[in-house]
C-alpha cells in the first residue's frame, strides 16, 4: 500500500503537520459514504474546486441526496460543480458576491440548510454546523 501523505495548513498559508490519508478522492467509492464534509480555508477550497475527481464525488453525493456539508470558503466548490445555482447558502462573507453571481441566494447565518446542503460561515459556527450534520444523519 502506498502511503498518502497530506500537508495540513494553518491560517490558510502556513504549513503545519503532515498526515497519512486513509484514501484519496480518486480511490473513493461514494456508495460507501453517508455524507461528505468539505473543509474551509481559502487554499484548501481553491484546490478542491479545481479537482475534477472531487467534483464527480461531490456531485454524486449531492445527486444521491446524502448530506453535503460545506463551511467557510468551501462553498466555492458548489459554484464550480453547478450545485449553488438556485440554492440558499451561507459562507464566509467574502463569498457572497461569488455565490450570488452563480445564482445562489446568500444568507448571513451560522448555518443554512437547503435540502441536503448544509453550509456554514466560519470556525466560530462549528457547533451549529456539527449539530446540523448530526441532525441530517439522524
Q: Which residues are catalytic?
A: 73
Please name the residue that has the C-alpha cell 441566494.
Answer: 105
β-pairing verdict for 5-10 and 88-89 = unpaired
Environment class of 106 (CB within 10 Å of its CB; exposed 0-12, middle 13-18, buried 19+): buried
Q: Which of 119, 135, 114 is nearest to 74 (CA)?
A: 119
Environment class of 83 (CB within 10 Å of its CB; exposed 0-12, middle 13-18, buried 19+): buried
**Lookup: cell for 106:** 446568500
Amino acid at each position: 500500500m502506498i502511503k498518502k501523505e497530506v500537508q495540513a495548513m494553518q491560517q490558510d498559508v502556513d504549513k503545519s503537520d503532515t498526515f497519512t490519508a486513509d484514501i484519496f478522492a480518486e480511490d473513493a467509492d461514494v456508495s460507501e459514504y453517508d455524507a461528505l464534509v468539505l473543509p474551509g480555508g481559502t487554499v484548501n477550497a481553491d484546490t478542491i474546486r479545481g479537482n475534477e475527481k472531487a467534483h464527480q464525488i461531490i456531485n454524486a453525493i449531492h445527486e444521491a441526496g446524502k448530506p453535503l456539508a460545506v463551511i467557510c470558503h468551501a462553498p466555492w466548490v458548489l459554484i464550480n460543480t453547478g450545485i449553488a445555482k438556485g440554492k440558499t447558502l451561507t459562507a464566509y462573507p467574502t463569498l457572497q458576491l461569488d455565490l450570488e453571481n452563480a445564482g445562489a441566494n446568500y444568507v448571513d447565518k451560522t448555518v443554512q440548510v437547503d435540502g441536503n446542503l448544509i453550509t456554514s460561515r466560519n470556525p466560530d459556527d462549528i457547533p451549529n454546523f456539527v449539530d446540523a450534520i448530526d441532525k441530517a444523519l439522524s
